[in-house]
Structure 1
Amino acid sequence: MSRTTTIVTAAGLAAAVTLAAAAAQAQVNVPKPSYKFEKCYGIAKAGQNDCFGPANACGGTAKIDRQADSWVYLPAGTCKKIPGGSTGPAKS
């Protein structure tokens, strides 16, 4: 591999890592919605939650689907209509 190819490859990798880090950072601070909302626990897909439990980071950090202590914002009154949804974290 030539030196030029190595430099271009390294620069591309660095750009990809920077973009991924920026995307991850953007997920951390999920703003509250402007509509009347509730937090619905236990329904988010892995990596699609709005926030997490007190001991963990926010936004996009759920490791598994339907993680009991991760939540998403939903319009008020919607959570109880979703199977497995709860307006509070699961009790341990």
Structure 2
Amino acid sequence: MKNIDTKAILLAAAVAGVALANTAAPAAAADSEKCYGVAVAGKNDCATATSSCAGTSKVDAQKDAFIAVPAGLCEKLAGGSLESSAS
């Protein structure tokens, strides 16, 4: 009997974890901002003038490549800017 109870508890915990993970994501996205000039090569979040999709920036700190960061953090990062400064 104890084995069945343990499985039921683990299953309930897993379901609760998935439910919480799904509800937390939109709140996090609303509290973020685009931060240009700090993305590592290949880790940008969206297309740039010189790359066609996310994850395709060619150099570190590319001025037109951004990553989403928590609101208020970007300008505290070295090289971080809220606006693209690509020429």
Contact 1:42–1:71 under 8 Å retained in 2 = yes
Stretches of structure 1 lacking an aligned partner (at least 5 in a row): 1-31
Shift of 1:55: 6.1
Q: Which one has a bigger Cα radius of gyration?
A: 2
Count residues in correspondence.
61
Contact 2:51–2:57 under 8 Å retained in 1 = no
Equivalent of 1:60, from 51, 55, 64? 55
**Sequence identity of aligned pairs in percent?**
44
CA RMSD across the alignment: 1.9
Partners of 2:38 and 2:50 in 1: CA distance: 19
Moved >6 Å (runs of 4+) = none
Partners of 1:55 and 1:44 in 2: CA distance: 14
Equivalent of 1:79, from 63, 66, 74? 74
TM-score (norm 1): 0.58
